[in-house]
């Protein structure tokens, strides 16, 4: 039988959790790597030398990451007959911190989304997307530098739970019959149906994580984004449970919008965090018109999906948007775009999303100087107008470079960064 996993790198040590729930990170950590499908190998080939160079430079050679390649996706299916071997899931749990490229999901059939499976199997309940402008990146808005937000999107519930029945299917008829006979709700017999579950448990752990992040990152505002005016018992409840959690668990830290003027004369006092809420449609306007007023956003799955891509567009598109899926036991950092199959193997795509996700990962393990160096290197490369095709076509006088060429440009700029 084929050995699915390569042995973990012998020189590396494991990242572990302390009893106090903090990460304990050695100077030579083993970090899991899922290369991904399509352009995954291209962006990884460009990004890994950047990560290694930044770590070496920022730590003066004291630190080094030992990458442990884990099989998933098309390569795993070809070699082991499984897209997502159980061994890979166990290895992610063991490694605690993993970085991954995009994984292809066939449309209208084939295997289930591996990304959704990873999130569910590993209970990665928070999709975290920082959205911040890298100076020099072409953007469709006038002041992209005003955007500096971190989105916490609930990852396990809502219409994404996958509970739906096709129009005309026996199950759909049974549910329609139940609604008609027991709830007095008469719907078109040919309706397709979906269920939108949202629970206090999943909502509260997401909002807890958003508040804790705000406290640690010295952010002053957490905004709950919901459509509770229409969907009262799901999205409206999300808002209510969010406020409830803040009152129950953070009474010393969190203050609310109604108190802001009555008790604090309009200014958030030092050491406090303001929690407010906005209706999702209004929020799409707010992020365009008054982006400076928002810092940390917590929201249900569907709102989060839409708003994170819209916000990414404001700062230069998905090629520059980092992200992570996080649980209480492990976290997977990932390029937020897909596997872009038509560019696979062409060494052309923008590795920016992978690079920024890596910087986010280094910050997560407490290697802030290393993370900052990568962001400064990317900024310097973009300001020197050395960019991949997607940005080059929007920038006058840009010098277009390949995917790996952009990685090399970032490394060159680490010195001056
Ligand atoms: P995609 O993001 O792969 O690509 C769509 C287009 O966006 C590309 O053709 C390209 O023009 C542009 N693009 C994407 N990333 C870019 C980058 N880094 N630099 C420059 N341009 C970039 O979206 P898709 O075509 O809808 O999806 C392809 C596959 O990826 C599907 O199987 C989908 O399920 C999967 N997917 C995976 C993830 C993930 O693993 N997290 C996320 C989204 C989509």
pLDDT per residue over 298-316, tens digit each?
A: 999 999 999 999 999 999 8
pLDDT confidence of residue 127: 97
Asked if the model's pLDDT at residue 182 lies above 80, the reply is yes
106 CA closest ligand 1 atom index = 32
pLDDT confidence of residue 113: 81
pLDDT confidence of residue 334: 95
Which residue is catalytic, options 78, 281, 342, 368? 281
Confidence bin at 162 (pLDDT 50/70/90): confident
Asked if the model's pLDDT at residue 339 lies above 90, the reply is yes
With beta carbons less than 8 A apart as the criterion, state whether 377 and 364 touch: no
Asked if the model's pLDDT at residue 51 lies above 60, the reply is yes
In this predicted model, what pLDDT tens digit does every residue of 264-291 receive, in sequence order?
A: 988 999 999 999 999 999 999 999 999 9
Clarify whether 277 is annotated catalytic: no
Confidence bin at 110 (pLDDT 50/70/90): low
Asked if the model's pLDDT at residue 128 lies above 80, the reply is yes
Q: Phi, psi (5° rounding) for residue 130?
A: -75, 135
Q: Which residues are registered as beta bridge partners of 333?
A: 99, 324
In this predicted model, what pLDDT tens digit does every residue of 347-371 receive, in sequence order?
A: 999 999 999 999 999 999 999 999 9
Task: Output the average pLDDT for the chain.
Answer: 94
Find out whether the beta carbon of 337 lies less than 6 Å from any atom of ligand 1: yes
Asked if the model's pLDDT at residue 109 lies above 80, the reply is no
335 CA closest ligand 1 atom index = 41
What is the average pLDDT across 61-68? 98
Question: What is the percent of the chain with per-residue pLDDT over 70, rounded to a whole number?
Answer: 98
pLDDT confidence of residue 121: 93
What is the average pLDDT across 22-37? 96
Find out whether the beta carbon of 334 lies less than 6 Å from any atom of ligand 1: yes
With beta carbons less than 8 A apart as the criterion, state whether 358 and 51 touch: yes
Find out whether the beta carbon of 318 lies less than 6 Å from any atom of ligand 1: yes
Locate 348 and state its tokens.
């052309």
Asked if the model's pLDDT at residue 20 lies above 90, the reply is no
With beta carbons less than 8 A apart as the criterion, state whether 115 and 100 touch: no
Kindly report the number of other CB atoms within 10 A of residue 329's CB atom: 12
Question: What is the percent of the chain with per-residue pLDDT over 90, rounded to a whole number?
Answer: 85
Clarify whether 305 is annotated catalytic: yes
């Amino acid at each position: 039988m084929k050995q699915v996993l390569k042995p973990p790198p012998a020189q590396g040590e494991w990242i572990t959790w302390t009893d106090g729930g903090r990460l304990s990170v050695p100077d030579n950590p083993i970090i899991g790597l899922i290369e991904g499908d399509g352009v995954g190998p291209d962006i990884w080939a460009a990004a890994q030398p950047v990560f290694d160079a930044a770590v070496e430079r920022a730590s003066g050679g004291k630190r080094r990451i030992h990458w442990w390649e884990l099989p998933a996706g098309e390569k795993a299916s070809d070699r082991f007959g499984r897209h997502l071997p159980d061994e890979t899931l166990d290895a992610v749990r063991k490694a605690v911190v993993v970085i991954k490229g995009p994984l292809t999901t066939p449309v209208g059939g084939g295997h289930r989304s591996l990304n959704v499976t990873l999130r569910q199997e590993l209970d990665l309940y928070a999709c975290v997307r920082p959205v911040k402008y890298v100076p020099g990146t072409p953007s469709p808005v006038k002041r992209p530098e005003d955007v500096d937000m971190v989105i916490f999107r609930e990852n396990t519930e809502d219409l994404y739970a996958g509970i739906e029945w096709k129009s005309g299917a026996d199950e759909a008829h049974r549910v329609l019959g139940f609604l008609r006979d027991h709830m007095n709700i008469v719907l078109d017999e040919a309706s397709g149906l979906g269920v939108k579950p949202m629970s206090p448990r999943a909502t509260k752990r997401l909002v807890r994580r958003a508040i804790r992040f705000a406290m640690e990152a010295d952010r002053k505002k957490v905004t709950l984004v919901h459509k509770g005016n229409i969907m009262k018992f799901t999205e409206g409840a999300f808002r209510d449970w969010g406020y409830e959690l803040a009152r129950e668990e953070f009474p010393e830290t969190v203050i609310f919008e109604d108190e802001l003027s009555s008790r604090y004369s309009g200014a958030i006092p030092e050491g406090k965090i303001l929690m407010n809420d906005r209706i999702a449609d209004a929020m799409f306007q707010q992020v365009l018109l008054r982006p400076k007023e928002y810092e940390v956003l917590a929201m249900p799955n569907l709102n989060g999906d839409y708003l994170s891509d819209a916000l990414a567009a404001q700062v230069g598109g998905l090629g520059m948007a980092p992200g992570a899926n996080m649980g209480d036991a492990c976290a997977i950092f990932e390029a937020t775009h897909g596997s872009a199959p038509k560019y696979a193997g062409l060494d052309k795509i923008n590795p920016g999303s992978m690079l920024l996700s890596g910087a986010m990962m280094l910050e997560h393990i407490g290697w802030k100087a290393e993370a900052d160096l990568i962001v400064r290197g990317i900024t310097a490369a973009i300001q020197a107008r050395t960019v991949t095709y997607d940005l080059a076509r929007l920038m006058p006088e840009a010098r277009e470079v390949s995917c790996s060429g952009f990685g090399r440009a970032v490394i060159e700029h680490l010195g001056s960064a």
